[in-house]
Structures are given as structure tokens and as C-alpha cells.
Amino acid sequence: MSTMPSPDSDKHFAGSIPELYDQYMVPLIFERYAADLVQRLASRPVTRVLEIAAGTGVVTRKLASVLHEDVAIVATDLNPAMLETAAAIGTSRPVQWRPADAMQLPFANGMFDAVVCQFGVMFFPDKAKAFAEVGRVLCPGGVFIFNVWDRIEANEFADTVTTALASVFPDDPPRFMARTPHGYHDRATIARDLADGGFTAVPRFDTLTARSRAESARDVAVAYCQGTPLRNEIEARDASRLEAATEAAAQAIARRFGGAAVEGRTVEGQPVEGRAVEGMIQAQVVTIEH
């Protein structure tokens, strides 16, 4: 696990990033995990649900379609641009969109009986403080469900892109993917941060492996290099080389997985003869009672 501090650019989703994120990253790696997260909540008797780090709303849309229409849903994110994209896409029924910092949630104590967060806690500068805020707004008996990416080696597209960019910028390789999205997976660390945030129950960890698919190697490269804050790192080194960096990532993906229909799983995979190459993407889902 990375212990390096995350620069502010790791949390900066602006410009064209939200649109490209939703167009490429959401179908590539987020949708299947969003469905899993919502199903884990669907069987519970909830009336008010808070989503933090909602991004462009992939989980929000599933919450709105799966949960009973009487369940109130509040979706928050630190980045207004992401919420604007989410609101523009819309949901099957009304939800409340609200910009909010997870470490200073603007809600009363005990206001929600469930809090969900998809691949967001890795971005919190002070995890224990954010978890304490979650505990504060949860009512007694409420539940906090979130997921985090596993180590980068078990997420082959991210690992391949990161390695490719190291050849483009050998003196200062962009490490956003390893540092932040894949930098918070150690179970003991997560459990300790939850305890430091005031949770007394033992968290449940489930490892979830899924396939990740794309129409082309280029789509994967654009997703990572232009639809995430990895773009900020690339442009900080040389903005004129964004396209070159994207092309280097696309070529690396094509070499490893094929250039046409690309298929990856979230865990370490092996090439399969006679069909699109499979890789893996792997996440951990954490459930803890309040």
C-alpha cells in the first residue's frame, strides 16, 4: 500500500474529465460494481440513504431504480462538475444532488440509516475523520457499505497503463493510479481507520472479481489517461504530450490484450486462446454496522 501523500490534483475532476469519465470509465470498470453495491443494500429496510463521492452518478442511478420510491436518496460529491454531469444524465426518479466534503458532511446527527460510497474513500485525505462523519450522520443500527480497488497488480488495465506511462515520462512517472485509486486496499489499515473513526463493529470484507470490457485498446487508454485525474499528472509534466501518452497506453493495452474488442477482469488473468484476451479487475467491498 502506498503511504505517499496524495496531491490536490488527485481529487480534481474538472474540464472534460467528468464527461470522459462517464463515457469511458463508468462502463469499463464501474457499472458492475455499482450493481453489486446497490444489491447489498436492497434487502435492508432503509428509508434515507446518503451517497458520498457519487461522481457522475452510476451508483445513484442504480439506487434510484432499485430502491423503493419512498426511500429518500441524497447524493453528494466534493466536485460540483461531477454532480452537474450526474444531474444532467438524470435518474429514474428524483434524488437530491448536493456538493459536500465527506470530512465535513452538512447533515444532522443520525439523519440516515445507510451510507454508501463507491471507490471514493481512497481520495479522503483523513480517512478516520471521514469515517467519523459517516458514523455521525448514521442512525443507530445503520450500515456503511463501500468498496475500494484492490492492489494495482490485480487490476490489469490500470497496471498496464501505469507501466506504459513510465516509458513516456521515465524521469517522473505518473503514479496516480497506484498511489490513490489502488493505494488503499490493506484490510488491517481499513479496519483500523474505521475503528479510529468510532466504528466498534468488525467490518466484513468481500473480494469481488469481475471482467472489464472495452470496444478497443484506444477506449481503455482514453478512459484512464483523459477521463481520470491521471490526466492532471500527464499535463503537469507536459500538456502537449497528452495524446502521445494516450497512444503509448493504447499500444501497451493492444500488445497485452489485443487491439479490437478488449476484455479484462479485475484480478490477475491469463490470455485465452481464440478469443479476446481477458485480464482482471478486483475490488474489496466493506460492510460495517453502526
Q: List, for residues 59-68, the tens digit of each pLDDT value.
A: 999 999 999 9
Identify the CATH number of the domain defined by range 8-289. Answer: 3.40.50.150
Q: Write down the pTM of the prediction.
A: 0.89
pLDDT at 7: 59
Nearest CA to 223 among 173, 128, 158, 287?
Answer: 158
CA distance 78 to 156: 28
Q: List, for residues 215-234, the tens digit of each pLDDT value.
A: 889 999 999 999 999 999 99
Distance in angstroms between the alpha carbons of the first and the last residue of the chain = 27
* Domain map (residue ranges) of the chain: 8-289
Instruction: Answer yes or no: is pLDDT of 2 > 50.
Output: no
Q: List, for residues 163-220, the tens digit of each pLDDT value.
A: 999 999 999 999 999 999 999 999 999 999 999 999 999 999 999 999 888 888 999 9
In the chain, pLDDT over 90 holds for what percent of residues? Answer: 80
